Amino acid sequence: MKLMKSILSAIMVVALSLSVTSCLDDESNAAWGSEFVKVNTENVPITFTNSSGVELIPSSSILSVDSECDMAIVNYQYNKDKANENPLNIVMISEPYYFPLSNIENLSVAEEANASIMTLSPEYYDGVYYTGQFFDRKTLILPIQYKYKEYSSSTEQKNEMNAHSFVLVYDPDNCISGGTLNLELRHVIDESYDDIERTSDAMNFFAFDISAALNGSTITKVSISANENASSDDLGVTKRYDYDYNFN
């Protein structure tokens, strides 16, 4: 199974880093971290905030990021004697893997899906699977695997990847039932790129702000339906994924 190399390197590098020399001055106090973070683009240099509210400050300044770099996976070292500090100074051991954070869309205005995904639970190593998870009470991160076309031209490849969008949709009149928030994930391909045969597998993370659907309600689970097809991007069958919600 072919996955995007940038994803695998971003996540697996922490395991590899355990066998290399520490980037910290005091190697005996070196500890490693790997986690999802929010990107504080309003700060210059840019910093990160993890799900516990700790601000992470890289030793090498990051002065800017591209648009739609709202979230990231970061792999880093820090001094374990200072693990409880906030902010926490860190040394990056790989480039961050950035991904977007989007608002969910109202059913009345959301575009219809014209393509399937492959799965919301892709395998990345010998029976170990990615799964969706909450970053905080309003932010859900989903690993979306889907079909794409490979190009030798970097410009064509960028255009192909930008043609895919993923929209999480809610019905404001009928989205919560029995403590479950029901949402639908839609894969939309720009119509200019719709009539293309896609045979390669991609996997990217996408984050969604579900607060508009929550609207102050008490729930115990989020259930997402998605149209899946493992062999092509043609519309296939609907599958549902459930995620426990433990923020009440």
Alpha-carbon distance 165 to 100, whole Å? 11
Place of tokens 């995904």: 117
* Backbone region of residue 108 per phi and psi (left: phi > 0; alpha: psi in -120 to 50; beta: other values): alpha
Q: Which pairing describes strands 200-209 and 30-40: parallel, antiparallel, or unpaired?
A: unpaired
In tens, the pLDDT along 55-92 reads 999 999 999 999 889 999 999 999 999 999 999 999 99
Residue 104, both tokens: 């969910």
Element (H, E) at 14: helix 5-17
CA 227, CA 117: separation in Å to the nearest integer?
Answer: 6
State pLDDT tens for residues 90-143.
999 999 999 999 999 999 999 999 999 999 999 877 778 899 999 999 999 999
Contact 102, 118 (CB under 8 A): no
Structure tokens at 61: 């300044």
What domains can you pick out in the chain, each with its CATH number? Answer: 5-99 (2.40.50.500), 101-244 (2.60.40.3220)
Phi and psi of 65, rounded to 5°? -135, 165
